[in-house]
Chain A
């Protein structure tokens, strides 16, 4: 045991001395983190919805590149041959190397988490579950790393094989590109790669339902890990002269890829291919329903939870504390938005993307749409006053729904995305008194998770559906703020 501890300590020390290993193990995941922070800079809570992806990238890099690169280069140098001359069994040294790798990826994960928290991410909802999920992810990918080490005859082969697994997982496996943005066929393909389950399991623990939202993913990761570790151990080579092509036991690769296929088929059978439910319900699911004294007069028949400020990252002013945690009830007799104060309006985060940008663009009052989309814009302008989701029911819901008419084309990036926000804004100021509109829009910006998302406005003549409802919510939130800025004179018209 002392021998293995000594070896474990040595592995960690050597890792810290190896500049290339540090580059791949720590800098690489941090570059992803910074890139994601820039890419998703307009999300309310930085990186909260992407921690699953980022942690998966860190583990993938450490386990599928770092581990086999170390193992194969040591094998090529004859280090493993040297270990073989000692009485310690080879499996024990492999196990110690794998544990060292787990600690290395764990440290990279903690570094990412720390940096994410430093730039404003909120604490994960289920820290213990996150550690367990992370361990499952590391187990699955370390198993895969052992298989790569067994397959590759030299270090360049590790790089080539690693890329063959890394890139597909990144691009169509749901790791770097969100599944919602991928076509359906890619979502089907992703079900056969462990990367997707790694992201799902981790994300469920960061801002989802924790273990209960990650059962299937953990099962999938566990299966991949067991198959990978068994095959990796069976196919392990300590001698560089033994080439993979000339050695027996290749049938051990069958359970590895068999596990991936089995998990994929199981996912297909259980209808888990579409965007996981967690993504949509996650922010709402974690919200605590707390009756608040100040809202004592209203009794909740079927409470719709209001988000707890920091947990979902809505930018609430400090004095808005009591508002958070309020229970939302049907408007009569006293809708909650009526209590919105000037302080709360002032405290909104007006630092939104520019009108001329890609995210939440908005045409100026005199700007004319190009000819080829003019009909579409006019069509929406004419239909909006009688559009049922914008006219039936309470005012809060109607205004929220109308905001989606601006948000959906922006999320899909349709050519009309610049002009419809102007149409929606004009419709709103024509329909509602300015003060009421300002309060309702402020309330929407303060509680962007509420209500159902409308991600299809084809009945207004705009075809196409936004894949990720969270993006639509986010854009609606941005437009709510942009409109409030205009209503309160912060932005000149």
Chain B
């Protein structure tokens, strides 16, 4: 089956700043694809170029088999979008919003079905201003589904939600995959990406720095262990980096995080160094690297190295 999304060498500049510098990726039908990256990395710009809110400076964007730059209106007929930066009028009700937005599309799901599916039945006729954060987000998702989309783009859908609402939303997103929908998700919650996404791409400074399944990315860390160390006295980064088999060391006063492929050897060297230095360990954690560690290593770590 052809890819649902193909992005090749996407470029976008804003007033002399490169927001996106040659981004390329593909999303296969039926997968949940996560676009991860720190704030300002270029996630939102990439998504906005995909959905026709921004005109890229160059590059090729194909969505649902259509050239998104040539046929933006047709692309919009086939995709559903929930952006964090959008909202609705205070006085509108979920039922009205679903009806009006539904009328903008050739094919649509009726409001009642969506209200039921996204658990908004009780609030169907309540004003938008009276909805909770979770209810608003569910309405945004329901609106994204109003045109029976082939591809759904969700921009940080769980940001600002309480843990309960976040869990409910995760169920909703998993159900989308079940229903055969392709999902592009941007998030900065790494455990969310680890749980939901089939594949992720990590974007930093407008470029994709890693792509793969969460498991592949964690394996990229080479089976390295992640170490977090807190000592009584400040640590010199040079000394930390000089420990055996240490990578991606980040030091901040008496705190250091790094990865190591040989934890026992590293630990022996560390304890003898600290003892000689008359420094004391306050906290020490050694564990299997998570997606978050990979992410930090690829983004912040890359910067501070």
Give A residues with C-beta under 8 Å from B: 2-3, 6-7, 10, 13-14, 17-18, 74, 77-79, 81-82, 84-89
Establish whether residues A78 and B86, one from each chain, have CB atoms under 8 Å apart when the complex forms. Answer: yes
B225 to A: closest C-beta gap in Å = 43
CB distance from B88 to the nearest CB of A (A): 6
Report yes or no: B105 in contact with A81, Cβ–Cβ below 8 A. no
Whether the Cβ atoms of A81 and B86 lie closer than 8 Å is yes
Q: A77-B88, A85-B86, A87-B77 known; 4 other A-B pairs, CB under 8 Å?
A: A6-B99, A6-B100, A10-B100, A87-B73
The verdict on B58 contacting chain A, using a C-beta distance below 8 Å, is no
Interface contact B53-A85, CB-CB below 8 Å: yes
* Complex Cα gap A2–B99 (Å): 11
Contact of B89 among A2, A14, A81, A84 (CB under 8 A): A14
Kindly name the residue among B87, B103, B127 whose own CB sees the greatest number of chain A CB atoms within 10 A.
B103
Of B85, B96, B103, which one neighbours A13 at CB under 8 angstroms?
B96
Inside 8 A of B53's CB, which chain A residues have their CB?
Answer: 81, 84-85
- Chain B residues near A6 (CB, 8 Å)? 99-100, 103
* Chain A nearest CB, measured from B59 CB (Å): 21
Main secondary structure on B side of the interface with A: loop
Of the A-B pairs whose beta carbons lie under 8 Å apart in the complex, a sample of 20, sorted by A's number, is A2-B103, A3-B100, A3-B103, A7-B100, A10-B96, A13-B91, A14-B92, A77-B88, A78-B83, A78-B86, A81-B83, A81-B85, A82-B83, A82-B86, A82-B87, A85-B51, A85-B76, A86-B76, A86-B104, A86-B105
Complex Cα distance, B128 from A79, in Å, reads 12
Q: How far is the CA of A79 from the CA of B136 in the complex (A)?
A: 13
Query: Of B77, B88, B103, which contacts A82 at CB under 8 A?
Result: B88
Selected from B73, B76, B83, B91, the residue in CB contact (under 8 A) with A18 is: B91
Is B100 within 8 A of A79, CB to CB?
no
Which A residues are in CB contact (< 8 Å) with B76?
85-87
Chain B residue contacts of A89, Cβ below 8 A: 73
Give every chain B residue within 8 A of A86 (Cβ-Cβ). 76, 101, 104-105
* Shortest beta-carbon distance from A14 to chain B in Å: 5
Contacts of A17 in B (CB 8 A): 91, 127
Query: What separation, in Å, do the CA atoms of A84 and B51 have in the docked complex?
Result: 9
Q: Say yes or no: A87-B86 contact (C-beta < 8 A), given A10-B92, A10-B96, A10-B100.
A: no
Q: Which 8 A-B pairs have the closest CB atoms?
A: A82-B86, A78-B86, A17-B91, A87-B76, A6-B103, A86-B104, A77-B87, A3-B103
In whole angstroms, how far apart are the Cα atoms of A13 and B76 in the complex? 27
Query: Is the CB of B81 closer than 8 A to any CB of chain A?
Result: yes
Q: In the bound complex, what is the Cα–Cα distance between A6 and B74 (angstroms)?
A: 21
Contact present for A85 and B87 (CB under 8 Å) = no
Instruction: List, in ascending order, chain A residues with CB within 8 A of B86's CB.
Output: 78-79, 81-82, 85
Give complex CA distance A59, B241 in Å.
72
Interface size class of B (residues with CB under 8 A): 20 to 34
**Alpha-carbon distance between A77 and B136 when the two chains are bound, in angstroms:** 13
CA of A434 to CA of B74 in the docked complex: distance in angstroms?
Answer: 89
Query: Inside 8 A of A77's CB, which chain B residues have their CB?
Result: 87-89
Taken together as a complex, chains A and B put the C-alpha atoms of A85 and B74 apart, in Å, by 12
- Alpha-carbon separation in the docked complex, A81 to B86 (Å): 6
Question: Which residues on the A side are within 8 Å of B77 (C-beta)?
Answer: 87
| CB nearest to B127 among chain A residues | A17
Taken together as a complex, chains A and B put the C-alpha atoms of A30 and B184 apart, in Å, by: 53
CB neighbours of B104 from chain A (8 A)? 3, 86-88
The smallest C-beta distance from A396 to any residue of chain B, in angstroms, reads: 63
Chain B nearest CB from A13 CB (Å) reads: 7
Q: How far is the CA of A74 from the CA of B87 in the complex (A)?
A: 9
Chain B residue with Cβ nearest A18: B91
Q: Which of A3, A14, A82 contacts B91 (CB 8 A)?
A: A14
Q: Which B residues from 94 to 131 make CB contacts under 8 A with A?
A: 96, 99-101, 103-105, 127
- B81: which A residues are within 8 A, CB to CB? 85
Minimum C-beta distance from A4 to chain B (A): 9
CA distance A74 to B91 in the complex (A): 12
Chain A contacts for B74, CB-based, 8 A: 87
Task: Report the minimum CB–CB distance from A113 to chain B (whole Å).
Answer: 28
| Closest chain A residue to B101, Cβ basis | A86
B88 in contact with A79 (CB, 8 Å): yes
Chain B 28-67 near chain A by CB (<8 Å), digits 1 or 0: 0000000000000000000000011100000000000000
- Chain A residues positioned under 8 Å from B103 (CB to CB): 2-3, 6-7
Q: Which B residues touch A85, using CB under 8 A? A: 51, 53, 76, 81, 83, 86
Question: In whole angstroms, how far apart are the Cα atoms of A3 and B100 in the complex?
Answer: 7
Closest Cβ–Cβ distance, residue B85 to chain A (whole Å) = 5
Is the CB–CB distance between A74 and B100 below 8 Å? no
A residues within 8 A CB of B51?
85
Partner of A78, one of B85, B91, B100, B143: B85
- Nearest B residue (CB) for A7: B100
Contacts of B52 in A (CB 8 A): 84
Bound: A82/B100 CA distance, A: 12
Question: What is the CB-to-nearest-CB distance from B271 to chain A, in angstroms, rounded to a whole number?
Answer: 53
Shortest CB distance B37–A (Å): 19
**Chain A, residue nearest B144 (CB):** A85
Most-contacted residue by chain B among A7, A84, A86, A88 (CB, 10 A): A86
- Which residue of A is nearest B53, CB measured? A84
> B87 — which chain A residues lie within 8 A by C-beta?
77-79, 82
How far does the Cβ of B69 sit from chain A's closest Cβ, in whole Å?
Answer: 15
Interface centre among A6, A74, A79, A87 (most CB of B within 10 A): A87
| Bound CA span A13–B97, Å | 12
Closest to A15 in B: B91
In the complex, what distance in Å separates the CA atom of A18 from the CA atom of B77? 32
Docked CA distance A85–B77 (Å): 9
In the complex, A14 Cα to B74 Cα: how many Å? 29
Q: How many angstroms between the C-alpha atoms of A2 and B106 in the bound complex?
A: 11
Report how far A82 CA is from B142 CA in the complex, Å.
13
A74 contacts which of B85, B89, B101, B127 (Cβ < 8 Å)?
Answer: B89
Which residue of chain A is the closest to B140 with respect to CB atoms? A82
How long is the Cα–Cα vector from A82 to B53 in the complex, in angstroms?
Answer: 10
**Closest beta carbon of chain B to A9's beta carbon, Å:** 8
Question: Which B residue sits closest to A81, measured CB to CB?
Answer: B86
Name the A residues within 8 Å of B99 (CB-CB).
6
| Chain B positions within 8 Å of A18 at CB level | 91
Separation of A47 and B170 alpha carbons in the complex (Å): 64
For the complex formed, measure the closest distance between the CB of B159 and the CB atoms of chain A, giving whole angstroms.
14
> How distant is B233 from chain A, measured CB to nearest CB, in Å?
46
CB distance from A260 to the nearest CB of B (A): 33
Instruction: Give the chain B neighbours of A87 by CB distance below 8 A.
Output: 73-74, 76-77, 104-105
A88 to B147, CA, bound (A): 13
The CA of A122 and the CA of B201, in the complex, are separated in Å by 74
CB of B130 to closest CB in A, whole Å: 12
Q: Can you name the residue of chain A whose Cβ is closest to the Cβ of B153?
A: A85
For the complex formed, measure the closest distance between the CB of B72 and the CB atoms of chain A, giving whole angstroms: 8
A432 to B104: give the CA distance in the assembly, Å: 80
Q: A85-B51, A88-B104 are in contact. Are A79 and B89 (CB under 8 A)?
A: yes
Q: How far is the CA of A335 from the CA of B86 in the complex (A)?
A: 78
> Roughly how many angstroms separate A89 CA and B83 CA in the complex, as a whole number?
19
Most B Cβ at <10 Å: residue of A14, A17, A84, A85: A85
Cα-based distance from A82 to B73 in the complex (angstroms): 14
How far, in whole Å, are A78 and B155 apart by their CA atoms in the complex?
14
Which B197-247 residues have C-beta < 8 A from chain A? none
